[in-house]
Amino acid sequence: MSFVKETVSRVTMTQPNIQSFIWMVHQYEADVFIHKNERKINGKSLLGLVAAFINSGDPITIITTGTDERELLEAVSAFFMGKTPSV
């Protein structure tokens, strides 16, 4: 089963934000993918996130799959809403 959420990023993925995001998502076993435009980005991939150029105001779709997918979706959603991760 997968969980999907469409949202608009309130965060620009700068280097410090990408580092925080990568650290956060690696605390979970589930996988996370972010769709932006026609691109599918592995949310656990540093290079993928850098190349995605996610900016505040960009519409994105978050997809999580795995054992703790619901918790990961909540954490990723909160991150893109500009809230501090609580892992």
- 87 in a structural domain: no
DSSP string for residues in the chain: -EEEEEEE--S---HHHHHHHHHHHTTSSSEEEEEETTEEEETT-HHHHHHH---TT-EEEEEEESTTHHHHHHHHHHHHTTPPP--
| CA atoms within 13 A of residue 21's CA, in its CB half-sphere | 29
Task: State the CATH number of the domain containing residue 39.
Answer: 3.30.1340.10
Task: Please give the pLDDT value at position 83.
Answer: 86
pLDDT less than 50: residues of the chain: 87
- Sign of the dihedral defined by the CA atoms of residues 20, 23, 28, 29, in that order: positive
Task: Please give the pLDDT value at position 27.
Answer: 97
Q: Which range of residues forms the domain containing residue 11?
A: 2-80
Condensed to tens digits (0 to 9), the pLDDT of residues 60-81 reads 999 999 999 999 999 999 999 9
Domains in the chain, number = 1
